[in-house]
Amino acid sequence: VKKQGPFHASIVGLVIIFVKWILKDKINPGWHYLIWAVLILKLLIPFTPPSPASIFNVVPAVTQNVDFARLPVKDNHELPATDTKGKFLSNAAADKESIKRDDFLEKAKKTAAYIWISVFVFSIVFAIYTNFAFRGRLKKRNKTAPEWIYKILEKEKQRLGVKGEIEIIVQDIINTPSLFGIYKPKLLISPAILNLGKENISYIILHELAHLKRRDIMANYLLLFLQMMHWFNPLIWWFFKIIRQDMEMAADEMVLVLLEGPERKEYGKTLISVLESFNSQKPSLKLVGMVDDAGNIERRLKMIKMADLFKYKRRLFVITGVICFAILSFVLLTNPIAKNSLQIGSYIVEVPDNFRVKTDTPGLITQKNTIFGFITGTKIISFKELVFEENNVTVGGIQIIRYEPDQRLFLPNHSQVKSQEEIKGLITKAVMVNLDLTQPAASKDTSVKNENHLYLIFEKDGIAYDIYADSKYVDKTQLIKIAKSFRPSDNSGAIRAVEQFGRNLKKVDKLSPEEVCRVQIKENYSAYVAPSLLAEWLEDPSKAPGRYTSSPWPDRIEIKDLIKISKDKYTVKGDIVEITSVPGEEWRTGITLTVERTGKDWLITGFNINEQSTTFDENYIENYMPLAKGNYWEYSYKIKESSAEGRIIEKNGTIKMEVQSIHRAMDYTVVEMKGDILNLQPDGRFGFLATSNKIYWLDEATLNNVLNRIGELQQFESLSEILGEGTGLMFEFPLYDGQKFGGDPNRSDLMYIWVVSHDGEFLGKENKSFKKYRLENRQSADTTTVAFVPGIGITSLSYHHNGTIDDRMIELVDYKITE
């Protein structure tokens, strides 16, 4: 939540003063005083509903100042264009300096908080002390009021309709007539007041009774409390001074309604007389009195002259005041309307309005925010990457990358650093890098793209946020604005607890003796797991998650969904991601956790392994590769190859690929297929094996081996043991532009891996349009290109052998997809 309460309250106060200046004589003093209730409510109510009419829709948020410090550009020998790691920022001194700066800012925040609470508590204690001290002085220095003044009091009480007992105390502590006390109010007058005459005294009593009837004593104590709470804000002090002046004028108006012309003049003279007897020595505790300060007397005397206008046009003033109060409440008490809120990792971020978030980016969670049953906005959450478009062109994004303090950050492949700058004043250590990107040689694209990358480095979390953009469309000042908007999300504590817990899973060896396992559980989980759940695991270590085999091993927890139960409780759904030494190979186990806030800490209070893993399920089959029994795909094909005699042979024909049978075993789905489109064998058998979010292609021999041992698949430690040589990774879902899988994604030449790019649209049956992706796998001797449409499957496939004439091309001509 943005800490803008005092800032917003100051805006509210300034707007009210501006409105009061415009209206001036258009509303009566009572409404001039009453509209200040909008400011009081703003200070008292922390949360208000959003509204399109809120003035804060146009008020900019408080942002940070940013300083630039240009860093030397690394020599290209250190950062070559083909460097697969693209490392930089290994300067230990710079890291230490950043940590010192972060620690200083954290200490400064804590110090400011301690100063605020100290002054606030001191003010309250001093106010209470002053109150009791003043009561003590009154007891010692008071005199009994004459009987005749009590008769005036009773007469004016009946005139104004005030009930209850009121004690009159004659004292010499303060000279100004004042009210003191809430439950048993006392009217304080000085001996000098008794010499003013009975008529003047009746006006003084009438004014103080007006304060009592309007409950101004209680309002004054509330102002005093809020003033102590906002002691640091001079604008609040100024506003409250004006409120007290308006309070006096509102009391004057209530009295003047009861008086006629000549009496009003005498009332004004009484004001001047009391002012002349005013003593500047007042107690520190504010009291409700007839004279607040000399500067307000002129306004009050002017108001007395307009009493007839306020009396005879009272209904008009009431209508104007009600309308004014309603409008001000609607405009000033409401919050800005919720725009589409973006969250990347554990941080909320704001982007320019002309940026559109690509919602087909993998791993996005979309949540609707509702207020009183009405949808006010959409919250988009990603734990990997947010991609931004403008006019249907990808212009940039934000991605989360790993960061190790003793290593350098990763830069994009095929990049050459042009400049880099350290940026100060942001939420954490930050570096802006400008670089040129060249396209892979296979693409035959010789263009060079210039990009800016702003890295926000969070060392404690072990991650960095890469805010990047094509400099052709977005300049670096926009990236800085985005970086300045970073702020922790409401669920950041829950996210960090889960992610840090996930990093420690591999440190708990479930194969070790129970006593050793208990020590590891306590050392690695106690900071993230609630004591009750930790005690359960310590009693029975077999219930705790950890590392069960040497390979694969748990690497992290990837969050798939966050469900808010309350402000202090979340249900988190995700996967434990296990990896092996084989690049790109992952095993996933679906889990559900309950995370709750206990004091300042977020702790895991519930942990469950899902009965059905989040691996390749029916949703993936339906949404990406529809491998249901009865489905088929018919292709036309062309073959161009050279014979042994050197002649070029061309063949054309059709081939039908269809699903024969489906077999499931735990986390695996094996699909037997007929019509081998890779080798163009119409009767050829092959298969697909689906596990997690991946699909593997199996040749006939491997398919037979897997089907014969399907009941034993769960016992193998890695897929390589199951599949052997006759397989290849075909797809890793969901597909997205720039995706790399099936090999080492850090290879600078992009060889031996699948590279994905968006390839326009595919027009299916009934003229329905689908998004199409291009997958390319280049090896030293050949290149395979696949066109894939989620929900339909492979729409084309081409194979080209380098060095000899051996080209094959298939195109989808018909298909049947079971709904």
- Give the whole-angstrom CA distance, residue 19 versus residue 633: 72
Q: Is residue 544 part of a domain?
A: yes
CB 411 within 8 A of CB 417: yes
CA 446, distance to chain mean position in Å, is 40
Q: Is residue 353 part of a domain?
A: yes
Claim to verify: residue 437 and residue 577 sit in the same structural domain: no
φ, ψ (nearest 5 deg) of residue 445: -100, 115
- What contacts 242, CB < 8 A, 6 or more positions away? 17, 36
Question: What is the per-residue pLDDT across 136-145, written as a single tens digit (0 to 9) for each?
Answer: 888 888 888 8
CATH number, position 240: 3.30.2010.10
Q: Is residue 7 part of a domain?
A: no
pLDDT category at 373 given cuts 50, 70, 90 is: very low
Claim to verify: residue 504 and residue 599 sit in the same structural domain: yes
Buried b (16+ CB within 10 A) or exposed e, 528-549: bbbeebbeebbeebeebbbbee
* DSSP SS3 for 222: helix
Q: Is residue 91 part of a domain?
A: no
pLDDT category at 181 given cuts 50, 70, 90 is: confident
- Give the whole-angstrom CA distance, residue 335 versus residue 52: 9
* DSSP SS3 for 317: helix
Q: What is the pLDDT of residue 616?
A: 36
- Number of C-beta neighbours around residue 477 at 10 A: 10
Is the pLDDT higher at 379 or at 29? 29
Average pLDDT over residues 547-557: 84
- Give the whole-angstrom CA distance, residue 272 versus residue 674: 106
CATH number, position 634: 2.40.360
* DSSP SS3 for 31: helix
Bridge-based pairing state of the strands 167-171 and 186-189:
parallel
Average pLDDT over residues 451-478: 91
CATH number, position 434: 3.40.1000
* Residue 481 reports pLDDT greater than 60: yes
Domain housing 237? 121-330
- What contacts 22, CB < 8 A, 6 or more positions away? none
User: Whose structure tokens read 């804590």?
Assistant: 110
pLDDT category at 354 given cuts 50, 70, 90 is: confident
Q: Where are the alpha helices (DSSP H) in 193-313?
A: 198-213, 216-229, 234-256, 261-276, 297-305, 307-312
- Give the whole-angstrom CA distance, residue 621 versus residue 690: 9
- Give the whole-angstrom CA distance, residue 680 versus residue 639: 9
Tokens of 702: 């491997």
Q: Which of 96-100, 485-489, 580-584, 760-764 has the lowest mean pLDDT?
A: 96-100
Claim to verify: residue 342 and residue 324 sit in the same structural domain: no
Least Cα distance to 366 among 355, 382, 354 occurs for 382
Q: What is the DSSP letter of 509?
A: B
Question: What is the per-residue pLDDT across 718-744, written as a single tens digit (0 to 9) for each?
Answer: 566 667 665 666 788 878 777 888 766
* Residue 451 reports pLDDT greater than 90: yes
Q: Which of 435, 462, 489 is the last residue of a domain?
A: 489
Cα-Cα-Cα-Cα torsion 671, 673, 676, 677, nearest 10 degrees, comes to -70
Q: What is the pLDDT of residue 88?
A: 40
Is the pLDDT higher at 749 or at 396? 396
Percent of the chain with pLDDT over 70: 79
Q: Is residue 14 part of a domain?
A: no
Q: Which of 609, 644, 676 is the last residue of a domain?
A: 609
**CA distances for 746 relative to 387, 584, 585, 586, 598, angstroms:** 21, 11, 15, 17, 41
* DSSP SS3 for 41: helix
pLDDT category at 443 given cuts 50, 70, 90 is: low
Q: What is the pLDDT of residue 696?
A: 87
Q: Is residue 133 part of a domain?
A: yes
Q: What is the pLDDT of residue 714?
A: 58
* DSSP SS3 for 78: coil
Claim to verify: residue 399 and residue 250 sit in the same structural domain: no
Question: What is the per-residue pLDDT across 299-347, written as a single tens digit (0 to 9) for each?
Answer: 777 777 776 666 667 777 778 878 888 888 888 887 776 555 788 989 9
* Residue 587 reports pLDDT greater than 80: no
Question: What is the per-residue pLDDT across 113-136, written as a single tens digit (0 to 9) for each?
Answer: 899 999 999 999 998 898 888 888
- Number of C-beta neighbours around residue 581 at 10 A: 10
Q: Is residue 70 part of a domain?
A: no
pLDDT category at 711 given cuts 50, 70, 90 is: low
CB 779 within 8 A of CB 751: yes
* Residue 507 reports pLDDT greater than 90: yes
- Give the whole-angstrom CA distance, residue 88 versus residue 78: 8
- Give the whole-angstrom CA distance, residue 480 versus residue 351: 10
Claim to verify: residue 321 and residue 358 sit in the same structural domain: no
What average pLDDT does the structure give for the chain?
80
Claim to verify: residue 252 and residue 311 sit in the same structural domain: yes
Q: What is the pLDDT of residue 65?
A: 45
Percent of the chain with pLDDT over 90: 25
Claim to verify: residue 583 and residue 680 sit in the same structural domain: no
- Give the whole-angstrom CA distance, residue 37 versus residue 42: 8
User: Whose structure tokens read 């007929």?
Assistant: 674
Q: Which amino acid is at 561?
A: D
- Give the whole-angstrom CA distance, residue 50 versus residue 52: 7
* Residue 715 reports pLDDT greater than 90: no
Q: Count Cα neighbours of 168 within 13 Å in the Cβ-side half-sphere.
A: 23
Question: What is the per-residue pLDDT across 595-636, written as a single tens digit (0 to 9) for each?
Answer: 999 888 999 999 998 754 333 343 444 567 888 888 999 999
Q: Which of 5-14, 226-235, 714-723, 763-772 has the lowest mean pLDDT?
A: 714-723
φ, ψ (nearest 5 deg) of residue 219: -60, -40
Angle at which helix 234-256 crosses helix 216-229, to 10 degrees, equals 170
* Residue 50 reports pLDDT greater than 70: no
Claim to verify: residue 166 and residue 308 sit in the same structural domain: yes
Question: What is the per-residue pLDDT across 183-211, written as a single tens digit (0 to 9) for each?
Answer: 888 888 888 888 888 888 898 899 889 99
pTM above 0.85, yes or no: no
Q: What is the pLDDT of residue 66?
A: 45
* Residue 82 reports pLDDT greater than 60: no
- Give the whole-angstrom CA distance, residue 306 versus residue 323: 22
Claim to verify: residue 627 and residue 516 sit in the same structural domain: no
Q: What is the pLDDT of residue 340?
A: 57
Whether the upstream peptide bond of residue 552 has omega within 30° of 0, thus cis, is: yes
Tokens of 35: 């509209």
Average pLDDT over residues 685-704: 86
Q: Which of 609, 636, 666 is the last residue of a domain?
A: 609
Claim to verify: residue 598 and residue 555 sit in the same structural domain: yes
User: Whose structure tokens read 């008071």?
Assistant: 142
Q: Where are the alpha helices (DSSP H) in 333-452?
A: none
- Give the whole-angstrom CA distance, residue 444 versus residue 305: 88
* Residue 92 reports pLDDT greater than 60: no
pLDDT category at 659 given cuts 50, 70, 90 is: very high
φ, ψ (nearest 5 deg) of residue 510: -75, -10
Tokens of 57: 């829709």
Q: What is the pLDDT of residue 585?
A: 61
CA 368, distance to chain mean position in Å, is 14
Number of domains, the chain: 4
Question: What is the per-residue pLDDT across 97-107, written as a single tens digit (0 to 9) for each?
Answer: 545 655 676 78
Q: What is the pLDDT of residue 786?
A: 93
Q: What is the pLDDT of residue 112?
A: 87
* Residue 37 reports pLDDT greater than 70: yes
Q: What is the pLDDT of residue 192?
A: 82
Q: Where are the alpha helices (DSSP H) in 689-791?
A: 700-708, 719-723
CA 10, distance to chain mean position in Å, is 24
Claim to verify: residue 602 and residue 656 sit in the same structural domain: no
φ, ψ (nearest 5 deg) of residue 377: 175, 170
CB 807 within 8 A of CB 800: yes
CB 426 within 8 A of CB 409: no
CATH number, position 504: 3.10.450.230
Bridge-based pairing state of the strands 569-579 and 448-458:
unpaired
Is the pLDDT higher at 630 or at 580? 630
Q: Is residue 553 part of a domain?
A: yes
How many residues appear in the chain? Answer: 819
Claim to verify: residue 374 and residue 286 sit in the same structural domain: no
